[in-house]
């Protein structure tokens, strides 16, 4: 077994994936008026580079048999590191992050431009203001009904529109659907999300949301959300946890045409 083969077998992160992810994070800033932290990601990349360097050094000084065994082991470690650091689900990047690791508010959307105030407008007017035609659900859980007004962000670089379904007299019993032109990078704890398909396209179900108390961040299971892309727009369907089952939101998302 040649040294060249062992050198080629050293663990490395996929360069195209790493560069694309880095450009997305450094080239944009966030919605929800939060601060983007790439520190966990950068630390992960640096760890991967250190592992690759250490591997190469040991390969150069070890026996052929030891180098072969070590190369196989490090290749496995490198692959696991890349897999656990982030998951690419369709066009959504999920970085698994425990609450204890949060140093700044967790981000969700990467967007261009500067946030502008949300404006409450009648739905027909909101559709006219939003510059891109959107699809709306043709089905909603009973007794939910689409409200007369919608929230619109009129930012030219990154417009968004939020439709609201009232499901009871209680103001907290509502379903929100936000549509915006955005890429998505999310920090979620493990086991709080899963991959789904919506109209045949990759999507995401998330149980819970980040809550902030002072400088501490806690993951609270008080919401259920579905994310997916439709006609190059990001759709975010959100409802209170416990009031609807996952199948209801999935059926509502599937009815978007």
What residues does each domain of the chain span? 3-85, 109-254
73 or 157: which carries more pLDDT confidence? 157
Which pLDDT does position 216 carry in this prediction?
A: 80
Which residues is 205 bridged to in the sheet?
194, 226
Going by pLDDT thresholds of 50, 70 and 90, the confidence category of residue 171 is: confident
Which residues is 108 bridged to in the sheet?
none
Q: What are phi and psi of 179, to 5 degrees?
A: -120, 130
Using the predicted structure, report yes or no on whether residue 195 has a pLDDT greater than 90: yes
Q: Are 156 and 113 in contact (CB under 8 A)?
A: yes
| pLDDT tens for each residue of 196-243 | 999 999 999 999 999 888 778 889 999 999 999 999 999 999 999 999
Q: What's the CA dihedral at 137, 140, 143, 148 to 10 degrees?
A: -20
């Amino acid at each position: 077994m040649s040294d060249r083969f062992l050198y080629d077998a050293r663990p490395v992160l996929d360069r195209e994936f790493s560069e694309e992810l880095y450009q997305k994070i450094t080239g944009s800033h966030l919605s929800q008026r939060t601060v983007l932290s790439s520190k966990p990601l950068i630390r992960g990349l640096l760890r991967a580079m250190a592992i690759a360097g250490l591997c190469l050094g040991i390969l150069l000084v070890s026996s052929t048999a030891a180098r072969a065994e070590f190369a196989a082991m490090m290749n496995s470690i490198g692959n696991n590191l890349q897999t656990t650091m982030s998951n690419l689900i369709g066009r959504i990047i999920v970085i698994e992050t425990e609450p204890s690791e949060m140093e700044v508010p967790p981000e969700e959307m990467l967007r261009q431009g500067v946030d502008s105030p949300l404006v409450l407008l009648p739905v027909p007017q909101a559709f006219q203001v939003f510059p891109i035609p959107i699809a709306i659900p043709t089905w909603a859980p009973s007794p939910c009904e689409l409200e007369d007004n919608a929230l619109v962000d009129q930012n030219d670089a990154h417009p968004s529109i939020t439709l609201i379904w009232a499901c009871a007299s209680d103001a907290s019993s509502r379903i929100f659907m936000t549509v915006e032109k955005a890429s998505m990078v999310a920090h979620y704890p493990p086991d709080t999300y899963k991959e789904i398909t919506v109209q045949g396209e990759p999507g995401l179900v998330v149980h819970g949301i980040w809550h902030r108390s002072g400088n501490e961040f806690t993951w609270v299971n008080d919401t259920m959300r579905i994310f997916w892309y439709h006609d190059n727009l990001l759709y975010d369907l959100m409802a209170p946890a416990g009031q609807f089952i996952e199948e209801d939101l999935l059926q509502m998302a599937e009815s978007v045409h």
